[in-house]
């Protein structure tokens, strides 16, 4: 069931685009095709919208997808994947996978797209799905299909092991994503048991041995110094709550927390674009993922909006609600896609 945001409305179609509502392997999609003619096949982007795995729809991202498609001369496929609470993991990720595989298999014949120039991307929860999908595809390659040529991750949610990172501390009550809501959305995606939200925020859900294992990836010392200002060291918790861990342990799997994947999986990631915002609880997820990718030899392009907040691209071209950083963020995304 699609739950669109209040300000969502289908925008007038740009004269430079053809837009079609279709289904790929049973999943609704909207395809944006630039009308410009060229002597070569176009690039493609499969886009997964944000909304905490619970909200958002194709209409919400019509303005964003039209702009990306038109300005980068790219065919964009916007995916209407299933949502919580009616559907839990792995429904969302499965939908994104079948759409991506469908598009890769039909790109050349049906859309005049070079399947070797198809990227995946999304924002927030959609960026989580894009990162998890790239890891899933890297572990189960199809010899008949190319892998995505890049992943475009816009303020991604990448782990539910540590809600005490500096960005979670510094921006815990900054709209539009509060610290407590981040844990709530992860739990809705996972299994719907939100009764353990407080224990998760307190860090009681991760066994000590796993915390030690994750520390090399989640240590705040891995962040540039400017992002650690004013952050407190987390309280040392000598033991975990076994019942809580049992409820959430699947959430520590890389398919839900891609930042926690092993090094051999991280090294298989495609070239990556990451956009982070200063005033965002998820800021450090993106910065830490950038470090992991770079350490593994993956090419990473990072754009940081020093005056941005979570959800900024959803305010793109929204009249009096538009922010300067939303335009800068969109333009940085377009610049990257043009390089593919």
In a domain, 18, yes or no: no
d(CA 55, CA 311): 13
Catalytic residue chosen out of the listed positions 59, 60, 280, 284: 280
In this predicted structure, the answer to whether residue 10 has a pLDDT above a threshold of 70 is: no
- Over residues 99-123, the mean pLDDT reads 97
Catalytic residue chosen out of the listed positions 69, 72, 78, 124: 124
In this predicted structure, the answer to whether residue 205 has a pLDDT above a threshold of 90 is: yes
Cβ(74)–Cβ(44) below 8 Å? yes
Q: Is 310 a catalytic residue?
A: yes
- Over residues 310-320, the mean pLDDT reads 88
Q: Give the pLDDT score at 121.
A: 98
Q: Is 280 a catalytic residue?
A: yes
Q: Give the residue numbers spanning the domain of 166.
A: 43-339
Task: Encode pLDDT of 298-310 as tens digits.
Answer: 999 999 999 999 9
In a domain, 240, yes or no: yes
- Over residues 231-260, the mean pLDDT reads 90
In a domain, 232, yes or no: yes
Q: For position 73, which CATH number holds?
A: 3.40.50.1820
In a domain, 267, yes or no: yes
Look at the block and give the residue holding tokens 């930042």: 259
d(CA 134, CA 255): 10
Q: Give the pLDDT score at 236.
A: 65
Catalytic residue chosen out of the listed positions 49, 102, 240, 310: 310
Give the torsion through C-alpha atoms of 128, 132, 137, 138, to 10 deg: 120
In a domain, 203, yes or no: yes
Q: What angle, 0 to 180 degrees and rounded to 10, lies between the N-to-C axes of helices 324-338 and 62-72?
A: 50
Alpha carbons within 13 A on the beta-carbon side of 50: 21
* Count of structural domains, the chain: 1
In a domain, 249, yes or no: yes
Query: In 248-275, which positions are buried (b, 16+ CB within 10 angstroms) versus exposed (e)?
Result: beebbebbbbbbbbeeebbebbbbbbbb
In a domain, 34, yes or no: no
Task: Encode pLDDT of 51-95 as tens digits.
Answer: 999 999 999 999 999 999 999 999 999 999 999 999 999 999 999
- Over residues 238-243, the mean pLDDT reads 86
Q: Give the pLDDT score at 203.
A: 94
In a domain, 8, yes or no: no
What share of the chain in percent tops pLDDT 90? Answer: 86
Nearest to 44 by CA among 100, 94, 98, 95: 100
Residue 77, token pair as written in the block: 């496929």
């Amino acid at each position: 069931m699609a739950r669109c945001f209040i300000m969502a409305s289908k925008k007038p179609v740009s004269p430079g685009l053809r837009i079609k509502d279709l289904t790929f392997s049973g999943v609704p999609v909207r395809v944006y095709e630039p009308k410009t003619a060229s002597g070569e096949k176009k690039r493609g982007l499969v886009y997964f919208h944000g909304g905490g795995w619970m909200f958002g729809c194709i209409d919400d991202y019509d303005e964003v997808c039209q702009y990306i498609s038109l300005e980068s001369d790219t065919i964009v496929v916007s995916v209407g994947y299933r949502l919580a609470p009616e559907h839990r993991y792995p429904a969302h990720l499965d939908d994104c996978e079948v759409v991506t595989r469908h598009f890769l298999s039909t790109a050349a014949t049906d859309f005049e797209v070079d399947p070797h120039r198809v990227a995946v991307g999304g924002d927030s929860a959609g960026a989580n799905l894009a990162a998890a999908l790239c890891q899933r595809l890297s572990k189960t390659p199809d010899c008949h299909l190319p892998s995505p040529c890049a992943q475009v991750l816009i303020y991604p949610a990448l782990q539910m092991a540590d809600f005490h990172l500096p960005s979670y501390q510094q921006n815990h009550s900054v709209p539009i994503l509060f610290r407590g809501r981040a844990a709530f959305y992860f739990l809705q995606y996972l299994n719907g048991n939100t009764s353990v939200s407080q224990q998760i925020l307190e860090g009681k859900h991760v066994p000590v041995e796993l915390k030690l294992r994750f520390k090399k990836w989640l240590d705040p010392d891995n962040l540039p110094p400017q992002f650690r200002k004013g952050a407190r060291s987390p309280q040392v918790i000598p033991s975990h709550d076994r019942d809580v861990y049992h409820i959430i342990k699947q959430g520590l799997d890389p398919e839900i927390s891609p930042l926690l994947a092993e090094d051999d999986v991280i090294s298989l990631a495609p070239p990556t674009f990451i956009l982070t915002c200063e005033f965002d609880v998820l800021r450090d997820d993106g910065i830490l993922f950038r470090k992991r990718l770079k350490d593994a030899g993956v090419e990473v392009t990072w754009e940081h909006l020093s005056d941005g907040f979570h959800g900024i691209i959803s305010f793109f071209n929204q009249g009096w609600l538009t922010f300067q950083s939303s335009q800068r963020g969109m333009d940085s995304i377009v610049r990257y896609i043009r390089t593919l």
